[in-house]
């Protein structure tokens, strides 16, 4: 990657997780998930749009012994930097998850409302198993209890962007995760 793409964006106050740190941890998660699902038929569900980077890296890290299919969902989430607490399914799965081993891949768990609601929706469709892998987790921000099985990094309560995460559809392409300079982050 060019040095220009790696340059810290002026709207960020700091880089929290650099490319190498992200890559290494996602590889570890891939190894763990490959062990857990070896010989099984896995349905990996990427939650659009924030999960695209972690999903692509995670898929590349899965062992060929895992028989993995990929599907996508999109749900409504943030309008700004504050959670609305309501989700709507904007794009649904193309394949039926009934009887499948489903692994939802998400960018970040904050209040837990999105994933609690999404997993409830999916559980009603009777998958054989249902687990969640999230790149980032802000455990201090929960409004309801929610514990994803696979967590890349626990991070503090700051609004982060990059590596798929946006603020008003910007910054997704940054190859690192950084803290946005916004009034809500007090910077």
* Residues known to be catalytic: 110
- How many binding residues for ligand 5GP (CB under 6 A)? 19
The answer to whether 132 contacts ligand 5GP (rule: CB under 6 A) is: no
Tokens linked to 155: 């991070």
Pairing state between β 129-137 and 177-180: unpaired
User: Shortest gap between Cβ of 187 and ligand 5GP (angstroms)?
Assistant: 13
- Find where tokens 């880089």 sit: 15
Q: Which is nearer to ligand 5GP, 153 or 167 (CB)?
A: 167
User: Shortest gap between Cβ of 45 and ligand 5GP (angstroms)?
Assistant: 13
Angle at 174 between CA 164 and CA 54, to 5 degrees: 35
- Considering only 7-15, 29-37, 124-132, 162-170, which stretch makes contact with ligand 5GP by CB under 6 A? 162-170
- Considering only 34-42, 65-73, 75-83, 124-132, which stretch makes contact with ligand 5GP by CB under 6 A? 75-83
The answer to whether 152 contacts ligand 5GP (rule: CB under 6 A) is: no
The answer to whether 30 contacts ligand 5GP (rule: CB under 6 A) is: no
User: Shortest gap between Cβ of 79 and ligand 5GP (angstroms)?
Assistant: 10
Helix H, strand E, coil C: the string for 16-50 is: EECHHHHHHHHHHHHHHHHHHCCCCEEEEEEEECC
Q: Which of 8, 14, 7 is nearest to 187 (CA)?
A: 14
User: Shortest gap between Cβ of 47 and ligand 5GP (angstroms)?
Assistant: 7
d(CA 181, CA 53): 22
Tokens linked to 127: 């998958």
- Considering only 15-23, 62-70, 102-110, 123-131, which stretch makes contact with ligand 5GP by CB under 6 A? 102-110
The answer to whether 108 contacts ligand 5GP (rule: CB under 6 A) is: yes
Radius of gyration of the chain, Cα coordinates, nearest whole angstrom? 16
d(CA 31, CA 138): 23
The answer to whether 160 contacts ligand 5GP (rule: CB under 6 A) is: yes
Tokens linked to 63: 């062992």
| Binding interface with ligand 5GP (CB under 6 A) | 50, 77-78, 83, 106-114, 159-161, 165-167
């Amino acid at each position: 990657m060019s040095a220009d793409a790696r340059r810290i964006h002026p709207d960020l106050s700091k880089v929290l997780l650099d490319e190498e740190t992200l890559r290494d941890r996602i590889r570890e998660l891939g190894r763990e998930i490959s062990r857990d699902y070896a010989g099984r038929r896995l349905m990996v569900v990427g939650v659009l749009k924030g999960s695209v980077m972690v999903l692509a890296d995670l898929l590349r890290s899965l062992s060929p012994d895992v028989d993995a299919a990929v599907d996508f969902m999109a749900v409504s989430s943030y309008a700004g930097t504050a959670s609305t607490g309501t989700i709507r399914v904007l794009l649904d799965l193309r394949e039926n998850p009934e009887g499948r081993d489903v692994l939802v891949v998400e960018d970040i768990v904050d209040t837990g409302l999105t994933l609690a609601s999404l997993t409830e929706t999916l559980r009603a469709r009777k998958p054989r198993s249902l687990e969640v892998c999230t790149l980032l987790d802000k455990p201090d921000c929960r409004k309801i209890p929610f514990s994803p099985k696979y967590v890349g990094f626990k991070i503090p309560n700051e609004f982060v962007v990059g590596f798929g995460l946006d603020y008003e559809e910007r910054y997704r392409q940054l190859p690192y995760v950084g803290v946005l300079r916004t009034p809500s982050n007090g910077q």
